[in-house]
A and B are shown apart, each in its own frame.
Chain A
């Protein structure tokens, strides 16, 4: 191929490389910065000495986190909510998407239209809040999981995947005496694990990162998920509630700063560790979705 050596081409190269470098730096530096700070001495944090490498390596932040009752508890809560929520999501999404992917299903277009409509119209925040409360879900993990059982968009992705599943396999299973339920559980699901897992990951990330649902429905401290605790500590600086009422002196202030950074790191750490391994699934999931859109 002939190389374009014109000035405009070189300018384009410069622009490309500068943009890419800026994107790389701007994306990564904040993470490195926050992690470094969380491992630094409390005094250096307050003085603003830390930039990209821990200064006076120190584990105060993490000692504070683990001596505090609420933060490990909220981490556990987030794990429970994510597991429970994703399990409900997957069961409901698969059960709904599979029948809808069969064009022979009676009333199929009615069901499909009825479900799709909810992507454009919804009752909104207040009626939903009233409904969930009157169902007796207030202050329980059910309120964070059951009302979000199906994400219509993910359901459509799943549906279009099932639609492309080879008909011949299902039909031969039927001739061997399987009913539709057995076909799904024994044949289709095991063979579609990759895409089912992809959607599962999307759901799991959503549950792990969500705070607003908990803000609406969770009242008692010991049921708070991690993101809500993070909001209290980092954004509202309500640290006094969490640390046993010691007077505010220089030491406490320094400690509270380490606590902020430590909690932040704890909340994004699972994502940072898992991300390189699961990243390709996310991209695949989006690709499946974009084919339709």
Chain B
């Protein structure tokens, strides 16, 4: 309401200064409020607007398009600001969506024409690429690897920050708590390349600290963990937890900071033990956040990050490490089978979407929490 009035002022300042004397507009209302005078009721504000309309009767007759044109004219600077962002989203987000057509075509790159013509003029292939993919021996291996890696990551990686946040919430010494928090966030800001690099060097069979320690303490023979397909999932999940434990806990700590301390105090008076307080106060306080975070993580079930797997795997570990996203990268971009790569990617995206919708539905039925 105020916004509308002040908008009129912004539109034509000179007119407004005249109007300022003639009728109560936003400024007058505000002044009156500050003087501590009578509050302006909702009905009265609406009156003001109607007064304006009667002052300028021609506006009632300009119709829908006229009003729209006026709206645009009034907000021209805001709309102008939005132009670069709009262009960005159209070009870099929506044009690639148009490129999904490539999955149904036999894409041939013609260097003389641009992207739009290239996609448009390639000949149709129907579902050929999808069928090739589903029938290939790689299909089940890739699907299994992707789902297993993702499921392991969720089973072990998802509860870790929650547990950490709950335990950290039990630390009463503030300085100690702050130090731990600061330190635990750090790995999140180190690049994946550096994290995997460190892991690989720590595990190096010749000079790596972990092999040395295991050898010195338990006499275990040095082993090249990175070249062993059986170890890939363990390394992937462990390094993920290492990197994201502290940072992931922030959102839960934020939820816990909103819990009223009196809840704990009255629980103590009622004789609740600390473990019982965790069970009956802390966990229920986290429930909504946990469900939402779980839904979000499920929505990317088939999105095992290409960036990290690409750094960790090698042909020796393809058996367990090759996932859909790395396969898309290798076939689609390295081997330049653009159409095939896009088809695999589309398959991946559709399955992800189905999982998200399903999980959201289940969650709404079971916990009455949902993303939409």
Interface string of A239-255 (1 = CB under 8 A from B): 00000000000000000
CB proximity to A under 8 Å, residues B259-289: 265, 268, 273-275, 278
A175 to B7 Cα, complex, angstroms: 10
| B361 interface hit (Cβ, 8 Å) | no
Does any Cβ of A come within 8 Å of B310's Cβ? yes
The listed residue (B92, B171, B342) touching A20 by CB distance below 8 A is: B171
B151 within 8 A of A: no
Q: In the complex, how many residues of chain B place their beta carbon closer than 8 angstroms to a beta carbon of chain A?
A: 105
Known: A128-B92, A174-B10, A271-B190. A122 touches B97 (CB 8 A): yes
In the complex, residue of chain A having the shortest beta-carbon distance to the beta carbon of B329 = A125
- Cβ proximity bits B7-48 to A, threshold 8 Å, 1 near / 0 not: 101100100100000000011001000000000000000000
Residue of B at shortest CB range from A205? B189
CB atoms of B93 and A123 under 8 A apart: yes
A69 at the interface (CB under 8 A from B): no
Which of B91, B182, B329 lies in contact with A279, CB distance below 8 A? B182
B183 contacts A28, C-beta separation under 8 Å: yes
Chain B residue contacts of A272, Cβ below 8 A: 186
Interface residue tally for chain A (C-beta within 8 Å):
101
User: Is B227 in the interface zone, CB < 8 Å from A?
Assistant: no
Cα distance A26–B179 when bound, in Å? 14
Asked if B323 lies at the interface with its beta carbon under 8 angstroms from chain A, I say no
B96 adjacent to chain A (CB < 8 Å): yes
Q: How far is the CB of B363 from chain A (nearest CB, A)?
A: 15
A190 contacts partner chain B, Cβ-Cβ < 8 Å: no
CA distance in complex: A255, B273 (Å)? 58
Residues of the A chain whose Cβ atoms lie less than 8 Å from the Cβ of B81: 95-96, 98-99, 180-181, 184
A276 on interface, CB distance cutoff 8 Å: yes
- In the bound complex, residues from chain B placing their C-beta under 8 Å from that of A51 are 209
A235 touches B79 (CB 8 A): no
Given A4-B268, A124-B349; A174-B6 close (CB under 8 Å) = yes
A179-238 at interface with B (beta carbon < 8 Å): 179-181, 184, 205, 208-212, 215-216, 227, 230-231, 234-235
Give complex CA distance A155, B85 in Å.
10
Q: Mark B65-86, 1 if CB is under 8 A from A, else 0.
A: 0001001100101111110111
Q: Cβ of A276: which chain B residues have Cβ within 8 Å of it?
A: 182
* B interface footprint on A63-83 (CB within 8 Å = 1, 0 otherwise): 000000000000000000000
Binding site for B on A (CB under 8 A): 1-2, 4, 6, 8-9, 12-13, 15-16, 19-20, 23-24, 26-28, 30-31, 33-34, 45-48, 51, 91-92, 95-96, 98-100, 102-106, 111, 114-115, 118, 120-131, 134-135, 146-147, 149-150, 155, 167-168, 171, 174-175, 177, 179-181, 184, 205, 208-212, 215-216, 227, 230-231, 234-235, 257, 260-261, 264, 267-268, 271-272, 275-276, 279, 282-283, 286-287, 290, 293
